[in-house]
Structure 1
């Protein structure tokens, strides 16, 4: 069976069709959240002729705000100069605006800088571009027009700066700052296909302009956090956080940003400011970091109280695992007794192996070496890691994962519902109980294979279609008991974000015995990661066949 298709040819103005769709969608759903500048942009855009619309959308997808005439070449726009004039007349593009040296330099090559500023840069022909800019900044601080800066040597340049409006339209459409018009193109080309889920048009991610602006503020602060910062600039970012919101998505994003800023403050030695920001977050690892900071301050009583709160109400297994690891040291400081640690029995084996090479002479990864040694015709061994079991989980969960419920889907390009990682994901989908019954009555095999057949190639957060072949699924369904799949799926459901990873590297199947085993491979110097340890402990607790192979080279 083949699912290969030939990518379609795209129309020359495919991007304009997509942008029009986005604009119409946002205008229909969020018209009351758009301000006068947004509405004016949309109205003016819709009144432009076709070539001007094409050029505007092309430029909005490029880095601006300055665009040089000699850099604009689009075959589908017959006359760039006519399209530019239309945009100038409409007020969507400007000419002769004063620009800074930094803005100028961003639109020039190093060679062009040396040519335009030959005298000030004498003796610096081999210098980097940033050095040239620093040298010029001392004597060229006043903004000038492009024509004055370049003395009309490099043709015309125009100013277009609608990125803030376009970014706002994209956020309203996608509901996140990561997706963009590329998602349209990937679907147009057939590279990505999305489930035809129901979008609840009554539900809106943003209920007010204030929520939208707070979301944009959080996105901007997160972008500003990248790179190096002093304690002062980190504190300034913390002070710019918007207030606590009733909007759950806003509050989660705010809490994550609190954690990120606090961690950088902690790394820079400002523990008090870090504690204050961690205290504003309800998401892990805020409580863990607070405990560690209180411990550093030798405030063991407060650390112990917070640790016991965490042990009583952990957000997830990862937080609980870390808390149990911290408990003995703090308890010892306070003279408190601890319950004995329970340890599950995990099978381990030591392997002394010779490195293997591929046809190009490169050393194979240790997991692949072990797989090749174990793999036989009657006992195939697959490098699966998180692709097989989580992929089967995605197929099993498919009907409920893509069920159209309030707040789950905001746009046609989602690989998962918006609440996938929220604590109430399962409780909001009572249909999951019906899927559980399939595992009990044996119908899960037919259900899984039917989903594979009907949904092949459709984007799913858990499914890697290039790995998840029908043959591998049939082999897994034959060898892995329903009781084991039930336990594995339930643990993923309990904490989807953390438990979708950490599964063992290899799975070896024994079709004749209808059995299997999972193997976590560790090379020299490698150790078991926390999420892997939690899975191994779970397997040991429930008698699911899993082991660790420690490899040393001979």
Structure 2
């Protein structure tokens, strides 16, 4: 595949267009057939070619049905006045083209999902009377009672009689699911979320696409993903973990699919333990390389009183490279295990003291405790900003924009990504290490300010997983860079990259800046605000401990509300 020019890139539809959802669906289908055609069977390719041969009305109605829940539809409930032709005309075309099946068979669960209680009661009144049951049973109770009497599916006319509304079934939902998967690289994003909302409301960075950019490189990858998706659905539906485990694909060569398999195994291990299958849970958790799986495995071994095994695994893991959360959790486990093993727990660094102070303020009628503290603390010489997780993340996102959106294999596979698909994978930094090193060199060389401001001006409004544009002004960026030393930013960014999933949150609520103060030290202070009854969470404590170790000014402000007649 070659790089696409700006004019060739698919464009989002104008939300003022009543058929914008169809144009967005056309974009998705066109992209998949163009960029993933080798992963489609001849029959699938033929069906998609046929999709574009449908009239606008038929294609629009089909799109609406694909976006709705389920595959069965009552014709009398299909009402889309924006279609250029009647629904009846579009339905006839879709049935003739084999996209819809008319008069499908319905099981009793389908019947009760699609038909109202008012419609059902006269149909089953006589049977309920014969069974000695009242005619005014609830819908759920009626379905429960009648299930054993109607084991076989029937057409709606056979259920309700000649006056029954027409019914159709969507034939190709698995194909549309496969398209959605190949386009997004996941099945978490639904057609409704994407076609109706996301395309029209965001601007996206333009990334170069090649065959390596795709989420899937062979059809077996798509099949494997779908199999794992079905396994997760079975778990969500309550299928026993012991039945799901044999259906999970084995170890994979594809790193991206491997990360998804690791998450599936984490959930499978959780479910197995809840269902009393502890040995299975241990086996599954040991097979997962997900960070959370390691701690869960150790805690389960503890509960099973297999202290020797837990101690051996924990000591081996303790010698590795850990995130702060992993180190904290592992230290707690080793502390509990040590007495049982007759050993001393590994030495743990004593957390440095965290600076604290208390404010007693009038209780505001509307404003939050953070805003009340902000208004009290700020002065003309030292403005205070309510930034929480936005400022440091945004400075990082602007400095490293080109690295975040680098077109490396498996990172981007369609034109509407907010961020790289591998952002939360453990090898995210490793695969971009040289580029991140170059970004950090700008901090040490002093050119970072120009890079950040140029990126802010050039990319303003374009989606980035680290940036919340509405709270980020150019004046705030300039003032922050005037007050926060570059070597502090470097250490903050290094910790951020150590574990993006954990470390993108937990920053203090406020930052107080001193732009007009001369001096060699930091001209800023981060302040975490806690109202009455609130307390620090673990991820906040870890950030505050980091600030204290690094000599970065940070504190916790405990706010109390004044009683009547009290003064501060």
1:487 corresponding residue in structure 2: 491
Distance verdict in 2 for CA 1:282–1:117, change over 3 Å? same
Matching residue within 163, 173, 179 for 1:153: 163
1:125-175 per-position Cα deviation (integer Å, ceiling 9, x unaligned): 765432232233243332110122221324312121322110100111111
Matching residue within 528, 537, 551 for 1:543: 551
Distance verdict in 2 for CA 1:427–1:294, change over 3 Å? closer
Q: For 2:551, what is the secondary structure of its paired residue?
A: coil
Q: What TM-score comes out, normalization by structure 2 length?
A: 0.88
Distance verdict in 2 for CA 1:248–1:62, change over 3 Å? same
**Cα distance, 1:217 vs structure 2:** 1.6
Answer whether contact 1:186 1:192 (CA < 8 A) is retained.
Answer: no
1:218 corresponding residue in structure 2: 228
- 2-structure distance, mates of 1:417, 1:298: 42
Q: Does residue 107 in structure 1 map to residue 114 in structure 2?
A: yes
Pairwise CA RMSD:
2.4
1:253 corresponding residue in structure 2: 260
2:427 corresponding residue in structure 1: 424
1:413 corresponding residue in structure 2: 416
Q: Does residue 440 in structure 1 map to residue 444 in structure 2?
A: yes
Answer whether contact 1:348 1:550 (CA < 8 A) is retained.
Answer: no
1:242-279 per-position Cα deviation (integer Å, ceiling 9, x unaligned): 22111111111111111112123323443222111101
Matching residue within 524, 539, 557 for 1:516: 524
1:172-230 per-position Cα deviation (integer Å, ceiling 9, x unaligned): 111111234443554653x2110011122344322222221110121222233336x4x
Distance verdict in 2 for CA 1:120–1:511, change over 3 Å? farther
Matching residue within 22, 31, 37 for 1:31: 37
Matching residue within 19, 24, 27 for 2:25: 19
**Cα distance, 1:496 vs structure 2:** 1.8
**Cα distance, 1:548 vs structure 2:** 2.0
- 2-structure distance, mates of 1:192, 1:16: 18
Q: Does residue 70 in structure 1 map to residue 80 in structure 2?
A: no
Matching residue within 81, 90, 94 for 1:83: 90
- 1-structure distance, mates of 2:52, 2:78: 22
Q: Which stretch shows the higher mean deviation, 323-332 or 427-436?
A: 427-436
Answer whether contact 2:359 2:557 (CA < 8 A) is retained.
Answer: no
**Cα distance, 1:397 vs structure 2:** 1.1
- 1-structure distance, mates of 2:123, 2:337: 66
Give unpaired runs (5+ residues) of structure 2. Answer: 1-12, 563-568
- 1-structure distance, mates of 2:478, 2:335: 46
Distance verdict in 2 for CA 1:195–1:185, change over 3 Å? farther
Q: Which stretch shows the higher mean deviation, 386-395 or 46-55?
A: 46-55
- 2-structure distance, mates of 1:208, 1:317: 38
2:194 corresponding residue in structure 1: 183
Distance verdict in 2 for CA 1:378–1:113, change over 3 Å? farther
Distance verdict in 2 for CA 1:162–1:355, change over 3 Å? farther
Answer whether contact 1:346 1:547 (CA < 8 A) is retained.
Answer: no
Q: For 1:94, what is the secondary structure of its paired residue?
A: strand
- 2-structure distance, mates of 1:480, 1:121: 76
**Cα distance, 1:315 vs structure 2:** 4.7
Q: Does residue 302 in structure 1 map to residue 335 in structure 2?
A: no
Q: Does residue 333 in structure 1 map to residue 343 in structure 2?
A: no
**Cα distance, 1:459 vs structure 2:** 0.6
Q: Does residue 172 in structure 1 map to residue 182 in structure 2?
A: yes
1:224-235 to structure 2, matched below 5 A, reads 224-226=234-236, 229=238, 233-235=240-242
Distance verdict in 2 for CA 1:478–1:94, change over 3 Å? same
1:143 corresponding residue in structure 2: 153
**Cα distance, 1:491 vs structure 2:** 1.1
- 2-structure distance, mates of 1:115, 1:40: 45
**Cα distance, 1:455 vs structure 2:** 1.0
Distance verdict in 2 for CA 1:126–1:489, change over 3 Å? farther
Q: For 2:469, what is the secondary structure of its paired residue?
A: coil
1:277-313 per-position Cα deviation (integer Å, ceiling 9, x unaligned): 1011011122212211222222222111100121112
1:23-62 to structure 2, matched below 5 A, reads 23-62=29-68
Q: Which stretch shows the higher mean deviation, 111-120 or 251-260?
A: 111-120
Answer whether contact 1:60 1:162 (CA < 8 A) is retained.
Answer: no
- 2-structure distance, mates of 1:473, 1:503: 17
**Cα distance, 1:352 vs structure 2:** 5.5
1:254-273 to structure 2, matched below 5 A, reads 254-273=261-280
- 2-structure distance, mates of 1:125, 1:472: 68
**Cα distance, 1:318 vs structure 2:** 1.8
Q: For 1:466, what is the secondary structure of its paired residue?
A: helix
**Cα distance, 1:393 vs structure 2:** 1.2
Matching residue within 473, 476, 482 for 1:472: 476
Count of aligned pairs: 540
1:423-481 per-position Cα deviation (integer Å, ceiling 9, x unaligned): 33334332323322221232222221221111111111111111112232222122211
Q: Which runs of 4+ in 1 moved over 6 A?
A: none
Q: For 2:556, what is the secondary structure of its paired residue?
A: strand
1:274 corresponding residue in structure 2: 281
Answer whether contact 1:54 1:77 (CA < 8 A) is retained.
Answer: no
- 2-structure distance, mates of 1:42, 1:84: 18
- 1-structure distance, mates of 2:128, 2:415: 53
- 2-structure distance, mates of 1:220, 1:299: 33
**Cα distance, 1:124 vs structure 2:** 5.6
Answer whether contact 1:521 1:549 (CA < 8 A) is retained.
Answer: yes
- 1-structure distance, mates of 2:234, 2:147: 24
Answer whether contact 2:74 2:165 (CA < 8 A) is retained.
Answer: yes
